[in-house]
Amino acid sequence: MEGSALDTILQLGLNGLAVGCIYGLVALGFVLIYKATELVNFAQGDLLMLGAFVCYMFVVWYGVGYWAAFALAVVIVGLFGAALDRTVLRRVIGQPQFAVVMLTIGLGAMFRSVASLIWGSEIYTLPTPFSARTSRIGGVSVSHEYVSIIVGTLVLCAVLYAFFTYSRVGVAMQAASQNQLAAYYMGIPVKRMFSLIWAISAGVAAIAGVLLAPVSLIDINLGFIGLKAFAAAVLGGFGSIPGALVGGITIGLIELFSGAYLPLGVKDVAAYIVLLLVLAIRPQGMFGTVGRKKV
265 is a domain residue: no
Q: In whole angstroms, give the CA distance from residue 158 to residue 142.
A: 23
More confident site: 72 or 241: 72
The gap from C-alpha 65 to its chain's centroid, in whole angstroms, comes to 24
100 is a domain residue: yes
**64 Cβ partners below 8 Å, 6+ apart?**
58, 72
Which phi and psi angles does 290 have, rounded to 5°? -80, 120
Provide the mean pLDDT of the chain. Answer: 87
196 is a domain residue: yes
Does pLDDT of 184 surpass 80?
no
254 is a domain residue: no
Look up residue 9 and give its amino acid: I
108 is a domain residue: yes
Yes or no: say if 91 and 98 are a contact pair by the CB < 8 Å rule. no
Does pLDDT of 293 surpass 70?
no
Closest among 103, 111, 116, 92 to 38, alpha carbons compared: 92
Does pLDDT of 182 surpass 60?
yes
149 is a domain residue: yes
261 is a domain residue: no
Q: Model pTM greater than 0.85?
A: yes
Yes or no: say if 126 and 56 are a contact pair by the CB < 8 Å rule. yes
Closest among 253, 257, 275 to 266, alpha carbons compared: 257
Q: In whole angstroms, give the CA distance from residue 240 to residue 184.
A: 24
The gap from C-alpha 68 to its chain's centroid, in whole angstroms, comes to 21
Question: For residue 81, what pLDDT is reported?
Answer: 94
Mean pLDDT over residues 88-92, rounded? 82
Mean pLDDT over residues 204-215, rounded? 93
Question: For residue 295, what pLDDT is reported?
Answer: 34
pLDDT tens digits for range 42-62: 999 999 999 999 999 999 999
Number of domains in the chain: 1
Residue range of the domain that includes 119: 3-225
Question: CA-CA-CA-CA torsion for 70, 250, 147, 134, nearest 10 degrees?
Answer: -120
| Three-class SS state of 110 | helix
17 is a domain residue: yes
Task: Using pLDDT thresholds of 50, 70 and 90, give the confidence band for residue 294.
Answer: very low
